[in-house]
Amino acid sequence: MRSKRPARELLRISIDMGPGDSQTIRVMEGEDPKRIAEAFAERHGLGDGAANVLEAQIRSNIEVSESFNDKSGQQPNEYGENSQHQDKAPSKDNASYPRAEEGAEY
């Protein structure tokens, strides 16, 4: 009999609850965004409106996470970024800046 593979973490969302209080929602593969949002809202005394906003945010972040993962085969970090998709800031030595065309007005 095969053992079931543990669910992988899809993303983490940090929620600012007020001064000095930040909570994290972890979303695991296969979990229902509506149930996650409702549980978080209930645990923190938030209303149905907040649960609906959280659910929408979770669904949106899952879509972004999956699109990054589909394109590169890599997991995005907690900010939804993928190292292959991040552009390095140019240094002063190798900066590529647009050149002004002669006679162009800006």
The torsion region of residue 37 among left (phi > 0), alpha (psi -120 to 50) and beta comes to: alpha
The answer to whether the CB of 53 falls within 8 A of the CB of 63 is no
Which of the two residues, 46 and 73, has the higher pLDDT score? 46
CATH number (3.30.70, 3.30.1540, 3.10.20, 3.40.50) of 9-75 reads 3.10.20
Per-residue pLDDT of 37-49, as tens digits, reads 999 999 999 999 9
Q: In this model, does residue 92 exceed pLDDT 90?
A: no
Q: Where are the domains of the chain?
A: 9-75
65: nearest Cα among 23, 14, 13, 5: 13
Q: What is the pLDDT of residue 67?
A: 79
Q: Of 41-45, 54-58, 59-63, 69-73, where does mean pLDDT reach its minimum?
A: 69-73
Query: What average pLDDT does this structure show over 51-76?
Result: 80
Which of the two residues, 9 and 97, has the higher pLDDT score? 9
